[in-house]
Structure 1
Amino acid sequence: MGNVKRLCLLIAAICLLPLFGSCGGETDSAYAEEQLFAMDTYMLLRAGGENAAGALAAAAEKINALEAELNVRDAAGTGGAARLNAADGQEVEIGAELFSLLQTAQAVSEQTGGAFDITTYPLTQLWGFGGEGTVPDEAAIAETLARVGYQKLRLDAERRTASLTDGAQIDLGAIAKGYAAESVREVFCEYGVESALINLGGNIFALGEKLDGNAWRIGIADPGDTRETVGVLAVRDTAVVTSGSYQRYFMRGAMRYHHLLDPATGRPADNGLESVTVVCADATRADALSTALFVMGEEEAVRFWRETGDFEMILIREDKQILLTPALADSFEITAGSAYRVKTVS
């Protein structure tokens, strides 16, 4: 991983304690568990019920199959996403799941005015987030931006093909884990699992409620000290996904450059936000929106929430203010003694 700080791996491991360790009157033995490393992160699945073991095995198999199909860095180049990136503008026939994911990505891109954009792979490579990290000059950024734009992805539903124009390439890092969480949820439902917690490197889906009837309690990381939480969110049957500037970055002198790149400027988004948490019934949408809202910044994120209304959010600002949408006010509990201040947006 070089000097690029992929702290999401450590954060995921640390957050397992607040996420899974407090089960009220339950014990860990009430849930079967599966741990794996996939999609460049640590994952932990827990499921309750008599079919839990079979459901977990099937879920792990599903995640590994999705990783093979969605990994744009696949060295073998056999997965659909890798083949599309290597096609040099030619049409590529792809699988139904990848095609559906690309359709969703395009829809979110259009809805967010390009704040979410899966064609930022050339920018990610330019900044070196797959290795040591580098700060490109303005000329290089401008040249690379010419290859970025969700409109450069062409989809043909009738033939189930995809193509990329103008040297564009896709990066599914801001949506793939959400899609995988949705897929695991579907597997669990097929096996009759009604109580489970899916943690894909911090992309959470809380299925149903805990076996004791209580809500799941999800820790929201403190951007200033990821060993701690700013608070706990009580949820049932929903996705909770966070994007933050602290999750993956590199340092150059005193400057920190994070991985949440603004497709409009080609640079890390710089708008006073440190993290965005989205609570949404659909994990794929939650994953994509957490990135989009971070790129938008507070004002545009709040406007988008007001106009859309199909998700809730928590914005954490650099000045240690936490902004909640009203529906989360009663389910969010701030950590005792926290320096953060909570405000409800309207």
Structure 2
Amino acid sequence: MPLVETLPVGAGTAQWQAWGTVARIVVTDPAALDDARELVEAELAAVDAACSRFRPGSELSVACRAGGRPVTVSPLLADLVAAALEAARQTAGDVDPTVGAALCGLGYDRDFAAITGRQVAPAVRIFTAPDWRAVRLHDLSLTVPDGVLLDLGATAKAAAADRAAARVALRMGVGVLVALGGDIATAGPAPEGGWRVLVQDRPGDPRCTVHLPAGAALATSSTAGRTWGRPGELLHHILDPRTGQPAESVWRTVSVAAFSCLRANTLSTAAIVRGQAAPNLLHGVPARLVTGDLDVLRLGGWPA
């Protein structure tokens, strides 16, 4: 996953476990670190309460159990669902939030940290759940078709990074980088020379360093990072919505830079699903794609 390679002079940083991954914050003023971390933790807690599919009491879980009846939701969940539906629209359904039941059927039915090492047998299933166009959101009224389990994992983590960074910059008046696993968002003034980020998914993978300007974001989607199952039959968490099965691993990782982490993650996830057609999707977008053989393809001005 991408990491801040060299901290800006005088910066402060903290990291902790959240959502089965590492959360990290870097601020340009170390005196603001404690308060900034508190703001980020509060934002993550609010997003988790709104849309975790692993918590029976989350707003999203309640809406999914409503039997197809409309449920009034918070502005936060409405924003997160709207973001997921817009990502589906932008990618012609490659990033589809209605794959929750398929993920559960494949064994990803709890927080990822709790399934690591589980010996889950891959299953062959016919995936018949309605696609994203069957979900209805009108203002704060959300209707999830009966039997459909929404999973906002492809967009909510990136949106949370964007929201948390913006909140810290606004409240604390500092430059800030928020990283949630492979999703990085920045806000406020950047350090001199930009945010220096090392892009490398796993030890031994190709690596490079990029400099993100103020307000830029970076997302990396991987078919190697979040895996589970039997040796030789490992599954990964990025599903092809058309089959309900893990997307073909044409790309080991796809990294995309944009001016929102939500946009970057939408494109990197869709690129994994598109497989060989990913370069067409990413035309003109700064992106770095790594094959299973660890060859690197750079697009859209990504630095060599």
Same topology, TM > 0.5: yes
TM-score interval for Structure 1 and Structure 2 normalised by the shorter chain: 0.7 to 0.9
Identity %: 24
Matched residues in 2 for 1:221 and 1:298: separation? 21
Specify which of 136, 139, 152 is matched with residue 123 of structure 2: 136
Specify which of 183, 187, 190 is matched with residue 170 of structure 2: 190
Counterpart in 2 of 1:343? Answer: none
Deviations 1:95-142 (A, max 9, x none): 1121112112112212211110011000000100234333113xxx21
- After the TM superposition, which residues 66-215 of structure 1 pair with which residues of structure 2 at under 5 Å, given as runs? 66-75=47-56, 77=57, 79-130=58-109, 131=115, 132=118, 133-137=120-124, 141-142=125-126, 145-157=127-139, 160-207=140-187, 210-211=190-191, 213-215=192-194
Matched residues in 1 for 2:221 and 2:300: separation? 20
Matched residues in 2 for 1:258 and 1:55: separation? 33
Counterpart in 2 of 1:217? Answer: 196
1:23 aligns with 2:7: yes
Matched residues in 2 for 1:72 and 1:253: separation? 27
Contact 1:46-1:198 at 8 Å conserved across structures: yes
Query: How far apart are 1:228 and its partner, in Å?
Result: 5.3
Matched residues in 2 for 1:233 and 1:209: separation? 17
Contact 2:182-2:219 at 8 Å conserved across structures: yes
Matched residues in 2 for 1:277 and 1:298: separation? 15
Specify which of 41, 65, 89 is matched with residue 46 of structure 2: 65
Counterpart in 1 of 2:112? Answer: none
Deviations 1:166-218 (A, max 9, x none): 5111011111111111111221221243422211122112345653x122222
Counterpart in 2 of 1:42? Answer: 22
Deviations 1:304-331 (A, max 9, x none): 233xx5x4221111233211123223xx
Matched residues in 2 for 1:181 and 1:277: separation? 16
Counterpart in 2 of 1:266? Answer: 244
Q: Which amino acid aligns with 1:113?
A: A
Equivalent pairs counted in the alignment come to: 294
Query: How far apart are 1:40 and its partner, in Å?
Result: 2.6
Matched residues in 2 for 1:169 and 1:251: separation? 22
Taking only aligned residues, the RMSD between alpha carbons, in angstroms, comes to 2.2
Counterparts in 2 of 1:88 and 1:122: CA distance versus 1, 3 Å: same
Contact 1:202-1:242 at 8 Å conserved across structures: yes
Q: Which amino acid aligns with 1:85?
A: C
Which runs of no fewer than 5 residues in structure 2 stay unpaired?
Answer: 110-114
Contact 1:203-1:240 at 8 Å conserved across structures: yes
- After the TM superposition, which residues 295-334 of structure 1 pair with which residues of structure 2 at under 5 Å, given as runs? 295-299=273-277, 301-306=278-283, 311-329=285-303, 332=304
SS at match of 2:203: strand
Q: Which amino acid aligns with 2:134?
A: K
Contact 1:314-1:322 at 8 Å conserved across structures: yes
Greater Cα shift, 269-278 or 113-122:
269-278
TM-score, normalisation: structure 1: 0.78
Matched residues in 2 for 1:105 and 1:253: separation? 32
TM-score, normalisation: structure 2: 0.88
Q: Which amino acid aligns with 1:304?
A: L
Query: How far apart are 1:59 and its partner, in Å?
Result: 2.2
